[in-house]
Amino acid sequence: MTVYEFIKTHRGTIEQMGRILTSLEDCTSVDLYEDYMKMKTMRYKMTYIAQHLADKYGISERKVFRIVKRLSEEVVL
């Protein structure tokens, strides 16, 4: 399959993602967000969650908060 064929086949999905995602980094942050949701369900404190995820993913605590906020936003289609 060529890039053209892929885009032609998935054009609608790609256009929707272009409107929703602020960057492709959002796709790589899904695992972090899933870990966040598990820890939140287990009632860990937010500061502990942020510190743990920052260490695990090698990013700052502030970036963890930004990712969680961005991925928690409601999508309007």
C-alpha span between 65 and 77 (Å, rounded): 25
Does the pLDDT at position 74 exceed 90? Answer: no
Question: Tens digits of per-residue pLDDT, 36-66?
Answer: 999 999 999 999 999 999 999 999 999 999 9
3-state helix, strand, coil in the chain (%, to 5): 75, 0, 25
For residue 60, with 0-12 CB atoms within 10 Å meaning exposed, 13-18 middle and 19 or more buried, which class applies?
exposed
